[in-house]
Amino acid sequence: MASAWSVIDPLVDLYVEMARAVLIAAGERSAEDLVATQGHVLTVGDLCSTLAVEATVHHLDLDLGGLSPRGLAEVRRVLDGLLGRAAPIADDARYAMLGTGRLPLSEDEQALLGADAAALPLFG
């Protein structure tokens, strides 16, 4: 969808409006309530997590600085969950970029991850 825009401002406005609507609706429900979106059914908590991870990763894509430590922690929690263990990558932002396929693993990172290196990227 982003490629349809020649400038980012309308896309940002659309995203902010959608995120605000989701957060307002989420505030009125339990984290365990089920919601349907984009052909999937998930809990309100998982939807909020998905939005936080998406926003954090795209913030990294744009290299804007000022990342939310809570957002990075959520990205790490999700990536570790997909990996099945806590990854030994110390830097949260680097792990986010590696875990989503935005950067290749260095030889040292491949050695740290061992067999788990083949699982990356965990999502893209």
SS3 15: helix
- Total domains, the chain: 1
CA 108 to chain centroid, in Å, comes to: 24
Residue 62, in any domain of the structure: yes
35 bridge partner residues = 42
Give me the chain's average pLDDT, please. 91
The answer for residues whose C-beta is within 8 angstroms of residue 82's C-beta and 6 or more apart is 99, 119, 122, 123
Q: Which domain holds residue 71?
A: 2-105
The answer to whether residue 14 is domain-embedded is yes
Share of the chain above pLDDT 70, in %: 96
Question: What proportion of the chain, given as a percentage, has pLDDT over 90?
Answer: 65
In a domain, 38, yes or no: yes
- Asked whether residue 77 is domain-assigned, the answer is yes
Q: Does position 3 have pLDDT exceeding 70, yes or no?
A: no
